[in-house]
Amino acid sequence: MNEPNAPAENPSDPFQPIERATVSDAILDQLRGLIAGGTLKPGDRLPSERDLCKRFGVGRTSVREALKPLITLGILEGRIGSGTYVATEAGQFQKPLQWGLLGDLQSQDDLVETRHMLETNAAHWAAQRAGPDNLAAIAATLQGMAEHLDEPGQFQEFDANFHFEIARATQNKMLYRLINVIRGQIQTWIGERLTLSPERTESLARTSLEQHREIFAAIQDQDGAAARAAMDHHIQTATRDLQKIAK
């Protein structure tokens, strides 16, 4: 027959040849492999799209459709006039998790409950595993909170970093990523609530700081149970306070 691109059949093995269904997915796989394998490191610049076309032997459409998902997921970053770059490691896992977890936004309760579970466990493990550098980082966020009791925006940022640093101190990267994402979502929720009653934010901040200090003390003492209890108390009251504001 007049096969245009007849695959070179290997006579010894009849079931060998599996042609990839779509070109762009094949490119996508290859790129993902290069990134996961470390050939392309964060910050690296990819060859230009037109260059990749020639190297892969495909059209620009296919190259772009392979790049687009990676860009959407935050693994790559396209800059007009400059090129396409591998994103920094920090941002690489943020978006895919957001996509995965935030499919339906109606379940605020699930979010709060899951966060509670993740953070109490994180406090527990952090107490057992935090190194001096972790403790220093957490202490720094406490300092930051203390200095910005009357600036909600700043305070909130240090607050969030406090929880991030605890997550990091668990030495469990997966847990860290999960908390990172969920916390990010919670954060927007907190922001909404606080703007509803700006006059009470400072008193809330003060009690919040106090609770954070208790958590830190427990972690410093390497007392896992106490850290978990303190975190539990903190999240429970904070959640309740914020929910009260809603009314």
Partner DNA sequence: TTGGCCAGCTGGTCAGACCAATTCTAGAAA
Partner DNA sequence: TTTCTAGAATTGGTCTGACCAGCTGGCCAA
- Decide: is 2 part of the binding site for DNA (CB under 7 A): yes
Quote the DSSP letter at residue 221.
T
Q: Per CB under 8 A, which of residues 7..46 are in contact with its own copies? A: 24-25, 28, 36
- Decide: is 99 part of the binding site for its own copies (CB under 8 A): yes
- Decide: is 61 part of the binding site for DNA (CB under 7 A): yes
Residue 188 binding: pick among DNA, its own copies, none (C-beta 5-8 Å cut-off by kind): none
Q: Which residues contact 149 (CB under 8 A, 6 or more apart)?
A: 155, 202, 205, 206, 209
Pairwise CA distance, residues 102 & 141, whole Å: 28
- Decide: is 164 part of the binding site for its own copies (CB under 8 A): no
- Decide: is 34 part of the binding site for DNA (CB under 7 A): no
Determine the number of helices (DSSP H) and then strands (DSSP E) in the chain.
11, 2
Query: Is there a contact between 179 and 111 (Cβ–Cβ < 8 Å)?
Result: no
- Decide: is 237 part of the binding site for its own copies (CB under 8 A): no
Interface with DNA (CB under 7 A), residue from 32, 42, 58, 139:
58
Contact residues for DNA (CB under 7 A)? 2, 4-5, 22-25, 46, 48-51, 53, 58-62, 64-65, 67, 71, 78-84
